[in-house]
Amino acid sequence: MKTIDEIRSAGFAMKEILGLRGSPVGVRLLKTDAPVPGAVRAEGNRYCQALMRARHGEHVVVTGETIACPAAARAFGFKPLPEPLRTGKGLVGFGITAEEAVGAKMFEGMTVLEMGSVRQIDLFPLDLAEEIPDLVVVEDETEKLMWIALSYMHAHGGERVRGSTAVLQATCVDSTIIPYVEQRLNYGLGCYGCRDATDMAPGEAVLGFPAGELPAIVAHLKHLAGRALPHSRGKHAYAALAKERKSAPGSCSEL
């Protein structure tokens, strides 16, 4: 998609077809400190919180000076990883792991950007975009994300979709940095941090993909909306099974 109108239209279509409770979020990883017109600095916010604000209609910018999460600050190349996180001691303190070595290993495997390679992160509702994003991040119920993953798979000829997560940094690493670095869709189940710091619901998860994938994903979502999506949500096979069980001789059970 080459125009802002096309980006906005795609964001609106994705929101409407899937019934998302918020907007897909456009993300730009900026290499300069130049002011971003119309954006508010997300002072004292974690990246996941800034993403939440964008999902609910705000246009925000995250910088190394404003970001509140030390793990995300390292992931985006803003600041070094603090010693307690690097050694795993911090994760033991949070009650996430029982052994420091496990926590250290989790951070060793974290995909990160080079220090200083990004100066700002621009986040905005895709359906209100003013610029072409680098990435699209979507957070919602897992069933809705399933259709996006299926559409992405269709665009890649049926190739299976890979997921990579440490159940840490679900929004920053899993759904933003990995899609940016590896130029592919990736998904996460959420993490300790974003579930504590945002309105992410228990049944929700998050995924991200390069913005160049957006046209093909939305095109197949429209195809799915014609039959497969409403049929699946209608639970016809389940209804038939429940009816069969209910009418079976001597059966009083309900599914």
- Domain residues for 188? 4-77+117-242
Number of domains in the chain: 1
Residue 143 three-state SS: helix
Residue 214 three-state SS: helix
Q: Is the pLDDT of residue 199 over 60?
A: yes
Domain contains 103: no
Domain contains 139: yes
Which of 214, 53, 13 is closest to 132 using CA atoms? 214
92-129 per-position pLDDT tens digit: 999 999 999 999 999 998 999 999 999 999 999 999 99
Q: Which residue in this structure is represented by tokens 């390679």?
A: 117
Confidence band of 252 (pLDDT split at 50, 70, 90) = low
Domain contains 112: no
Q: Which long-range contacts (CB under 8 A, 24 or more apart) does 3-10 make?
A: 4/129, 4/130, 4/131, 4/132, 6/215, 7/126, 7/129, 7/132, 7/133, 7/211, 7/214, 8/126, 8/127, 8/128, 8/129, 10/126, 10/214, 10/215, 10/218
Amino acid at 56: H
Number of residues that make up the chain? 255
Domain contains 151: yes
Q: Is the pLDDT of residue 200 over 60?
A: yes
What does the pLDDT read at residue 243?
86
Domain contains 220: yes
Q: What span, in angstroms and rounded, lies between the C-alpha atoms of 53 and 63?
A: 15
Domain contains 250: no
Q: What span, in angstroms and rounded, lies between the C-alpha atoms of 96 and 90?
A: 9
What does the pLDDT read at residue 250?
67
What does the pLDDT read at residue 2?
74
Domain contains 85: no
Average pLDDT, the chain: 95
Bridge partners for 27 per DSSP: 123, 135
The percentage of the chain sitting over the pLDDT mark of 90, rounded to a whole number, equals: 93
What does the pLDDT read at residue 229?
97
- Asked if 244 contacts 232 with a C-beta cutoff of 8 angstroms, the reply is no
128-163 per-position pLDDT tens digit: 999 999 999 999 999 999 999 999 999 999 999 999
What does the pLDDT read at residue 83?
94
Which of 141, 150, 224, 143 is closest to 185 using CA atoms? 150
29-51 per-position pLDDT tens digit: 999 999 999 999 999 999 999 99
Confidence band of 255 (pLDDT split at 50, 70, 90) = low
Q: Give alpha helix (H) positions in 70-202.
A: 70-75, 83-87, 89-94, 100-108, 142-155, 178-182, 192-197
226-241 per-position pLDDT tens digit: 999 999 999 999 999 9
How is the chain split among helix, strand and coil, in percent rounded to 5?
Answer: 45, 15, 40
Which of 164, 167, 200, 163 is closest to 94 using CA atoms? 167
Q: Is the pLDDT of residue 254 over 60?
A: no
Domain contains 32: yes
What does the pLDDT read at residue 196?
95
